[in-house]
Structure 1
Amino acid sequence: MSVPKFATPPPPSFHTVLKTRINDYFKQQGKPSTGNFRLYSKAMFLVVGFLALYVHVIFFTPSAGWAIFECLLLSLFTSAIGFNIMHDGAHGSFSSKPWVNTIAASSLNFLGANTFMWKMKHNVIHHAYTNIDGIDDDLDAKPFLRLCETQKHYKFHKYQHLYFWFAYSLLYLFWIFVSDYKKYFSKKVGDIPLKKMTANDHLTFWGFKLLHICLFVVIPIAMVGVGPWAIGFVSYALFAGFVLSIVFQLAHTVEHTHFPVPNAETNKIDDEWAIHQLKTTANFATKNRLACWFMGGLNFQVEHHLFPKISHIHYPRINKIITATCKEFDVQYIEYKKVKDAVISHVSYLKQLSRPTLVHAH
């Protein structure tokens, strides 16, 4: 499937007006659109907390119950580092200094995945072609889950709204031990070719994969034995997988988001890119301070998709500009007030797609 093109509206387009207003906001405030002390202090807390938990559970292993609890807590720190440090770093919004962004993004390498693959899958493909089946790799959970109506229906999908949590739990294990390697050896993300890897990209890929195996497999087994390591590591990886999955799914695969199909003849999407982002993306729990802190603004997914190079710490402020502009242009802005509301909508959507009939036509 070749990548589609977006419509070009007559000027002034919604996107042009919005960009001008957001740029004006930062000029008036006299501050950069990247991270600040609030973000850096949170990053420091997350890194120190992660290292302290890792050292304690491996080298000063407590009783079984406490050890499992600490492994689950380590999952939350892993997810939070991904949401807050890696994500902003990979988008170049963590800092105004490129080398700092590179270090922040590299936290993903230490956690077992690969920054090069992530940037291609997420920054290049997902952000440009959100919710377009066959291109957006985030929709590809085949055959286990059916995430949009254009995907093939299997009989076992009848129960996907019941077993999805288990499938989501497998994400992290699958990501670090299967899908990165699949992308590396096939030189593709789905059907989209990877950009050419440099010698440094290859060294980074293999070097950090080996480092991760040493840190999370070899050393723990040497310290606590195979059995305790297996219980701890599987608990850690399954919980991290679920948390990472559910946060990203709540932003795109819910009842009110769209899954546009390009015109068969022209290979064009009906909307301009910015409006496409608003139709395919949802916010949730934006007034929940704990959710905002933990998820690194990923619950402000609309703001993130429209302005991925702006750090998440600015999303609550630019949210007001975006919602006002949406009203002015009569563009729908999808938002769920609570995490619970978004989860209910996501489960309801999975249940709709558990039937072979077309019920979510957009």
Structure 2
Amino acid sequence: MQKLKFTQDRGSLFYKELRERVDAYFTERNIPKTGNRRFKLKMFFYLAMNVVLYTLMITSGSLIAFYAFYLGMGISVLLTAFNISHDASHQVAVKSKFWNKILFQISFNLQGNNAYVWGKHHTESHHLYTNVEGSDIDVLNNPLFRMTETQELKWFHRFQWLYAPVLYLLYSINWFLFRDTLMLINYSSRTINIDIPKIEVFKLLLFKVLYIGYMIILPIMVLPFGWEHAIIAFVANHFLVSLIFVGVLGVSHVSDFVSHPEPNADGSLEMSWPMLQMKTSVDYNSDSRFCNFILGGFNAHALHHLLPNVCHIHYREILPIFRELAEKHEVTYMEMPYGQALKSHFRHLKNMGKHTNYQIREYAK
């Protein structure tokens, strides 16, 4: 991974005052930046939903109920990752480092994915060098997609905005089967490589086996519906989870409003780190209570990137501070309804498939 240097600009002053104002907000109210009682109730709700839905699935009396509870459980586990594990990975779900670690690993490892691998590339790559190819692990170097101007334009990319939804169906199952596993041998469509400790290699393989055990083998053993239904439910679950995952996160960083900055020859970006976050993130329905409850604050992505030390349960309260200071320091904060963000995502795919050089859209409220 190429490590980059940043420069000072008005984003630096914006970020400095933002941190001061947010710190003052929590100090004046004598409340922690971690999860509060409302967050703990939310945590109990999602964890309980996982257990209840799995129990109902594994004891289903009809095929319709089996599929319904299987898919419902898959969504519940994903929302647990959005709402609990993600904050725990940033040590802000609860005060205890130990319990943050446990909560972080629960949903990632139990989905057959490796929490260590995701945590490393999320905090040390994606958060640090957002949308910078060669430094942000989430910028794919995949021949089927062209996401940045530096990637080669091929004839079939003109259709990528049409076939993208089909390939998006494979996101989750590709993650389970290939993404982490290929990183073991440093062969991946991801733009960076990471070293994985031996204990994490063991855990990665162990939890994949356990995941297959309780998601496929156990239903086949205890339910009378036949092995083919367990396989179909498993694949359908991954399709559904993939669409939700990409639909929530893809529109934030893959958009014709956001930048894909390129570093200079000396490895420096002509902007500050806070400005990078503001130029590479689109927020949608940031004030929505429903979105905050369901998506764990992922819809307020720019705010999260700048303040990862604050639990998402507080986002709606500190958003006015965020907006006020962005306007004061003339830093563009891109927020819009979800429908507009989704259209922007597909416009980006369409334009990237047609043009070798095009300008990003100028955001206007």
Q: TM-score, normalised by structure 2?
A: 0.92
Deviates more, 1:221-230 or 1:305-314: 221-230
Q: Deviations over 1:101-124 (max 9, x none)?
A: 011101210111111010112111
Deviates more, 1:236-245 or 1:7-16: 7-16
Paired position in structure 1 for 2:97:
98
Paired position in structure 2 for 1:232:
233
Q: Deviations over 1:16-63 (max 9, x none)?
A: 222122111111111000011211211211121122222222232423
Verify: 1:352 aligned to 2:344, yes or no.
Answer: no
Name the CA shift for 1:131/1:343 in 2 (closer, same or farther; >3 Å). same
CA–CA distance in structure 1, aligned partners of residues 151 and 247 of structure 2: 20
- 1:71 is matched by which residue type in structure 2? Y
Secondary structure at the aligned position of 1:137 is classed as: coil
Q: Deviations over 1:207-228 (max 9, x none)?
A: 3222212111221222343211
Mapping for residues 153-172 of structure 1, pairs under 5 Å: 153-172=153-172
Verify: 1:58 aligned to 2:58, yes or no.
Answer: yes
CA–CA distance in structure 1, aligned partners of residues 126 and 115 of structure 2: 15
Paired position in structure 1 for 2:249:
248
Equivalent pairs, count: 358
- 1:81 is matched by which residue type in structure 2? T
CA–CA distance in structure 2, aligned partners of residues 206 and 304 of structure 1: 31
Mapping for residues 1-362 of structure 1, pairs under 5 Å: 2-9=2-9, 13-63=13-63, 65-107=64-106, 108-140=108-140, 142-186=142-186, 190=190, 192-195=192-195, 197=197, 200-224=199-223, 225-263=226-264, 265-336=265-336, 338-360=337-359
- Structure 1 unaligned runs (5+)? none
CA–CA distance in structure 1, aligned partners of residues 291 and 10 of structure 2: 39
Tell whether the 8 Å contact from 2:87 to 2:311 is kept in structure 1 after alignment: yes
RMSD in angstroms over aligned alpha carbons? 2.1
- 1:258 is matched by which residue type in structure 2? S
Tell whether the 8 Å contact from 2:139 to 2:191 is kept in structure 1 after alignment: no
CA–CA distance in structure 2, aligned partners of residues 296 and 50 of structure 1: 16
Alpha-carbon offset, residue 166 of structure 1: 1.6
Alpha-carbon offset, residue 135 of structure 1: 2.0
Alpha-carbon offset, residue 347 of structure 1: 1.3
Alpha-carbon offset, residue 154 of structure 1: 2.1
Name the CA shift for 1:322/1:62 in 2 (closer, same or farther; >3 Å). same
Alpha-carbon offset, residue 246 of structure 1: 1.7
Tell whether the 8 Å contact from 2:141 to 2:189 is kept in structure 1 after alignment: no
Q: Deviations over 1:200-258 (max 9, x none)?
A: 43443233222212111221222343211111111111100111122111111112111
Q: Deviations over 1:136-195 (max 9, x none)?
A: 121206122222222222222211112211211111101111111111232989454425
CA–CA distance in structure 2, aligned partners of residues 167 and 359 of structure 1: 25
CA–CA distance in structure 2, aligned partners of residues 168 and 244 of structure 1: 9
4+ runs deviating over 4 angstroms: 9-12
Tell whether the 8 Å contact from 1:68 to 1:235 is kept in structure 2 after alignment: no
- 1:129 is matched by which residue type in structure 2? Y
CA–CA distance in structure 1, aligned partners of residues 346 and 77 of structure 2: 25
CA–CA distance in structure 1, aligned partners of residues 10 and 296 of structure 2: 35
CA–CA distance in structure 2, aligned partners of residues 203 and 142 of structure 1: 28
Query: % of aligned pairs identical?
Result: 27
- 2:244 is matched by which residue type in structure 1? V
Name the CA shift for 1:178/1:70 in 2 (closer, same or farther; >3 Å). same
Deviates more, 1:26-35 or 1:287-296: 287-296
Alpha-carbon offset, residue 282 of structure 1: 1.1
- 2:13 is matched by which residue type in structure 1? S
Name the CA shift for 1:11/1:315 in 2 (closer, same or farther; >3 Å). closer
